[in-house]
Amino acid sequence: MLMLEKPTRLSRARPSASDVVEHIRSRGIKLVDIQFTDVPGRLQHFTVPSSSVVDGGLYSGFSKVDGSSIRGFLDISGSDAVAVPDPATFAVIPWRESAARLIADVYMGGAGRLERDPRHVAQRAESYLRESLGFSWSFWGPEMEFFIFDDVRFGQDVNYGYYFVDSIEGEWNTGREERPNLGYKLRCKEGYFPVPPHDSYQDLRSEMVLTMLKAGIQVEVHHHEVATGGQAEIDMKFDTLTRMADKCMMYKYIVKNVARRHGKVVTFMPKPLFRDNGSGMHTHQSLWKDDVNLFYDPKGYASLSELARYYIGGLLAHAPALMAFCAPTTNSYKRLVPGYEAPVNLVYSMRNRSAAVRIPVYSENPKSKRLEFRPPDCSCNPYLAFAAMLMAGLDGIERRLDPGPPVDKNTYDLSPEEAKNLRTLPKSLEEALEALEKDHEFLLKGGVFTRDVLEVWVRYKREKEILPIALRPHPYEFHLYFDL
């Protein structure tokens, strides 16, 4: 993801309410999706006639939300919520006739913004960056990876538990009766950058990209990723924090629906396949003051400024706690293991993809200087994950946290003596939540996160994800223990 210039759209006026009304009328929009994101990170929506938007809903919002039915929002005793559209998020939905979408900010009925609205957390982080610390903006560029499958089945009950996924290009299908089977199945860990016919999803990804462009999302590149079985990556052009989180949600919405139209299914699950790479979300980030990239210093290591090194110090210092938001599923930790291009060691380096923080050195242009935090994956809620990473980096700057010397070698090949002092990521979601409980004061600065948001997050993850999985036998346990 090459950040070679400041985004041109930042200099343009963002759409106003009157602009949205004009778009609706001039484009013949008849239906508008009002969208928002629940606390775990799934997109929600309801649909209204465009006349409801034009006739006042754009200003007063829509009293349609039962907050007790949205994961993490409100208790049933006070569940009324109002969705107020943000005019700047207007976008046409290309595959639906005469339809558009608006992302809404969620308010409690008669009581101001909903603190638990993830978009509000992201907006508070940007306000803290500007108003309390005097920076202009932060730029974000996530590399979102996903799998495209042809079939998925799974189930769990009292007496069984299983899953099955399939892909036309999966290595395991070299002997399948396909009448004819034309071969060209990608071997495990050999899916990076092949041309068709090995890359069987070139045209499907291209349609996803063209759909994103129609929806107003700038795209830089798409390609097959390392794993067999349809792993893909589409990279968006970088943007500011909340706007990029908005785009991440639209990205998921688009690729899932384009795949569905072709009889395929997309998953952002971090580790759906055994014995091959999982899907990550390497996240590029930088800080700016007006038109100056504050991460650039031609005299620094990898042309990094001292401020950037302190930002890295914050990311590395708080990384165990960050994983509660950046790798927030039990499945995330099946990806974060040595040997599968997933960084587990808390070091930084230029070029080195085994480090948790990598400093790309593709270009000498000052505007392209940024760092890449590699542990996150796309199961995260981007509003919360980006905000948490920003707060960790800012805490590093405020406290002048020195990240120490870089490690410019493959951390998986270190000798035991060299490796014994390396800090590592948590090995499970429970460990990440425990780290968050011990280390969260940096998130509370400026009221960006609240104790209520953190408590809701930890409680939800333990009660709805960790405990249910802990109670269920794993299929492989039968292989290990059935004949004891």
Q: Which residues are catalytic?
A: 66, 143, 145, 225, 233, 282, 353, 372, 374
Strand 265-267 to strand 281-289: parallel, antiparallel, or no bridges (unpaired)? Answer: unpaired
What pairs with residue 83 in β-bridges?
A: 62, 106
Q: With H, G, I as helix, E, B as strand and everything else as coil, classify residue 86.
A: coil
β strands within 251-408, DSSP E: 265-267, 281-289, 292-293, 345-350, 355-359, 371-373
**CA quadruple 57, 63, 69, 73: dihedral positive or negative?**
positive
Is residue 20 within 8 Å of residue 437, measured between CB atoms?
Answer: no
C-alpha–C-alpha distance, residues 269 and 324, integer Å:
16
C-alpha–C-alpha distance, residues 24 and 238, integer Å:
27
C-alpha–C-alpha distance, residues 272 and 336, integer Å:
13
Tokens in use for 445? 């600065």
Q: With H, G, I as helix, E, B as strand and everything else as coil, classify residue 148.
A: strand
Alpha helices in 285-420 (DSSP H): 306-326, 332-335, 382-399, 416-419
Residue written as token pair 């003596």:
417
- Integer Rg of the chain from CA: 23
How many degrees, rounded to 5, is the angle at CA 373 between CA 1 and CA 318?
A: 160
C-alpha–C-alpha distance, residues 230 and 236, integer Å:
19
Is residue 375 within 8 Å of residue 323, measured between CB atoms?
Answer: yes
Instruction: Write phi, then psi, for 319 (nearest 5 degrees).
Output: -55, -45
Closest by Cα among 217, 371, 356, 352 to 293:
371
How many degrees, rounded to 5, is the angle at CA 189 between CA 284 and CA 275?
A: 105
Residues in the chain: 484
C-alpha–C-alpha distance, residues 286 and 138, integer Å:
6
